[in-house]
Structure 1
Amino acid sequence: MSNPKALLPGWEDLEISTQIIIREAKERGISVDVIDRKENFLRLKQGSHVEFVKEASKTRLDSLMTYLVMENKIASKLVLSENGVRVPIGRNYGVFADAIGDYAFFQNKKKVIKPVTTNFGIGIGISNPNDSLESFSYFVKEAFSHSSSIIIEEFIDGPEYRFLVLGDEVVAVCNRVPANVVGDGVQSIAELIQEKNKDPRRGEGHITALEKIQMTEVERLVLSGMGYDFSTIPKKGEQVFLRKNSNISTGGDSIDVTDVVHPEYKTIALQAAKAANAVICGIDIISSAIAEKPNPNRYAVLEINFNPVLYIHEFPYSGKPRAVGDKILNLLGFT
């Protein structure tokens, strides 16, 4: 595979999803003005047809209120559940003491504790059944540090999948695997991370197809929970996860599964997008059997994303690349 770092020479400072849009626009003879480089804000012109595109997937096609509903997890969960979409069962809180007060309610369940408004998996914690009050409190405090409201909800087991919805079509689906390394029985976790980070597709700052795996306090804590540290030598073939969230932005791997998912899951993703009146969005679904007919006990729609990245589908870590930037230009009416 070619190195997406050189996708558009001279534009490498822009996030790679924006580079994808520029590449597709130039191939169609659409003129491109970068209005604000730091904001990845573009103006596209084709004759008298002018469109503004921010961060590759924010366009006039979605209203401000649609963005706000998708961004706010309480609002998005409400519209999803009211429209018959299976979502995890949980509660939301605006006060730290109220969340801590429900410790006993959630005590024997595996649960996710997350800020109401967050992106890239920031501030999200996973608390195991019968976790100590101290551990539970840590996750609640962390979530509140990123948002004035938080959600605590049931943990649904299984891999997480991103469904990219463009208009009335699911154009790509990828399995987002949390940052991980696979042991060879010789190298330490730190050495395996360094080795994996040598992949030219991995960089920092969303300007490459994949992000480097970090070795911060977050990763250290995840390893500590397994009784490991960065000097641990995993067994040959052992997969060690360094993050609990599956975001590609924190070093995860994107694996294309568009042709594998059961068609009814695509219907569910479209139903979720319609519930929020969204034209361009990413629907995150967790499922333990994505190739089989959906069973409500084995899946849930986790959230709707108002600014889905394109590069995880155009440049997957493994699997078939999907031409998704082209489809956004089609939706905007460019020829």
Structure 2
Amino acid sequence: MNKTQTQAVKDFFSKNNTFVIVQADNPDGDSLTSALAIGRIIESLDKTAYQFCSVKIADYLSYIDDQSTVSSQFPPDFDASIIVDASAKVLFENLEKSRKFGLLAGKPCLVIDHHSNECDLEFATIVYQKTAVSASQLVAEISKIIGAKLDLTTKELITIGILSDSLGLVSEATDSAAVRLIADYIDDGVSLAKLDNLRRETYRKSPEIIKYKAKLLDRIEYWADGQVSTVVIPWNEIQTYSNEYNPSMLVIEEMRQAIGVNLAVAFKIYPDRITAKLRSNYGIRVCDKIAEKFGGGGHPYASGFKIKGRNTDVKELTDKVIVEYLRLIKDD
């Protein structure tokens, strides 16, 4: 970021007093913590921050401080907006349907994102987008630019975001800057043991969810000589179990840990669309490319996409994903 852009970020925070912080339609640990962290930074400047997300924050993230402040109701008035952990319009379908994009377009907007896709949000006035393991890491950088002092809770939020997207600092995208930042925060009082214990408590599952997980594991299918594993989750199961736990997240890690598997894909069947969550093993950097083929995006080892429409055949979609995977593997 050059001096002009740095000054633009400083001006964005100094010249506006009321902000709405927006997450994409499918929030995860990093998007939630980066939103909450930037909100606390704004409040430390004696300004007002509203938290908005069009969907309910998942129960498995309930251990994160301040998550209850996120609302699905758009604030009546604000000076500027901040979009975190996303820069692709396709990730804001609900916001677009509600015509709230128009409210963002007329005011200053800062986008904070660590994904590699080009930002296509035409109304964004400042795009803070660079390579990093998480959006939370970029929030920490912005706090330094504007001279904000972080309290312990804000440092804990940033730490959770980095740990979430780096899979505990072991992902290929983890860099020394992220490790140094967490080390500094540990010196300042952040306890990794405390944060991990809180996370584990919310990951505890009811007997019903354990039984359902067993059914999902039994439904896993293997393709391409065992290199690709898939599971299909129908709408009635999404309705029944999603409030307690995201069905795809129950099994996708086990799916990719099977011997011989390189890519795991969980399909969820909604009345008007199919979504896919992709995870790959180390060295198989294909998830983002496969997702982009179908209009989605993400990271080399974790990504997702959705196909709109009521008549999409999941078997045909599976075949197409496998073909794209095999093409990418062959090219590599």
TM-score tier by shorter-chain length is under 0.3
| Greater relative contact order (CA < 8 Å, ≥ 6 in sequence) | 1
Query: TM-score under structure 2 normalisation?
Result: 0.25
Normalised to the residue count of structure 1, the TM-score between the two structures is: 0.25
